Chain A
């Protein structure tokens, strides 16, 4: 049976942990944001064969996190998505749509 593991990390160690995933030849599966009372809970999911590893951390509403697009270039869509829908602040996305990936009437509708 495939594993489905949640790995708690600190926001500061995000790039380091993502790099470990890259070096383990994991693929990026998705990035998910969940609204919490005072911020966001973020899950970065990586797959290897049928196993799924989810890096998990929480941040405050105004916190900024680094983009992982230098390590996983395909993350630009997921990062723009959580920025546009939730308002998560992400620094240095390789292709930054500046809030126009989703043309929603209301800004950050999932916030």
Chain B
């Protein structure tokens, strides 16, 4: 007869840069149930909307997360712009798109590094983060920041990128693409890596739907949905396919994210080619009065921004449903039946962001 025990996992663990706790119910080495505990560092940023006016709140929204900071700022701005009926200039839409895809690149590269570190490939970890540094350098050149950028504002963006800068960025990305092909070969073709990822943490298409999964975690289970298809920023002008896999295991999640890296480079190239000349922001008059649910495809999946204005400079409510929050039930499902040794890899393959979750 197997022995049943409960093993606490987290909130501090070598593979977890941020605190989340799981009570793992084990039968010998097999996980039969996992009960999550979050809320160790909840900051109540949504509540701050009562003290910061709707323009200032852009900087608060950016601070929800240090990885998706640009997209949080943009998601909030787009939701307020929708409520106020503000039409953002076309160049600002393209600039937002370029920064969004740079965010996806550095987020996915960060995740690849963490994954490599988790299965003990130190060199692969360093190579992934070496490439990520180039993206952070591009952010620093174009915005002045490496983590918090503060370039979004209601009505557009605050900084432009000139033609030389954009040309240089494409040159850097072209060079990076070659390195990335080499890197992805190790992740996707190395036998030792594959043995840790293939057939581990299966999530079927139906389960992904029923459990409300989002992002690459969901697409790796075969659901074709990418919020960028809704056409915010300049995405409606650009061509890209929704990347999916039918397998639904850890390998498929890695595969989808690696393909999204190449896709992001391609989207940036298209955006640089098509970016129109125009103003980068329009003046905004009045105060938001109304409500809107805005959805944005962050690196980890669909984020929902709900804003409700009352005609004054303070909003009634800002609510952010982050992708990690939506992916937690799916993650718990993949843990059932897993071996204890695979738990760190399984948690990592949803690319958890606790900072977002504890907004």
Contact = CB atoms under 8 A, between A and B. Distances in A.
Contacts of A50: 225, 227, 229-230
Given A1-B231, A74-B212, A110-B46, A32 B225 contact: no
A43 B304 contact: no
Interface centre among A2, A77, A84, A110 (most CB of B within 10 A): A77
Nearest to B236: A1
A28 interface: yes
B12 to A, nearest CB: 15
Contacts of A49: 225
Contact of B319 (A2, A25, A32): A32
Contacts of A27: 209-210, 212
B328 A29 contact: no
A74 B36 CA distance: 13
A77 B329 contact: yes
Contact of A102 (B38, B209, B210, B319): B38
A72 B326 CA distance: 13
A54 B306 CA distance: 11
A94 B92 CA distance: 46
A103 B40 contact: yes
Interface of A: 1-2, 4, 6, 25, 27-30, 32, 34-35, 43, 45, 49-50, 52, 54, 72-74, 77, 84-85, 95, 100-104, 109-110
Given A25-B209, A34-B317, 11 more contacts: A1-B231, A4-B292, A27-B212, A30-B304, A30-B319, A32-B321, A52-B293, A74-B210, A101-B38, A102-B38, A110-B47
Interface of B: 35, 37-40, 42, 44, 46-47, 209-212, 225, 227, 229-231, 291-293, 295, 302, 304, 306, 308, 316-317, 319, 321, 325-326, 328-329
The 5 closest A-B pairs by CB, nearest first: A102-B39, A30-B321, A74-B329, A34-B317, A102-B42
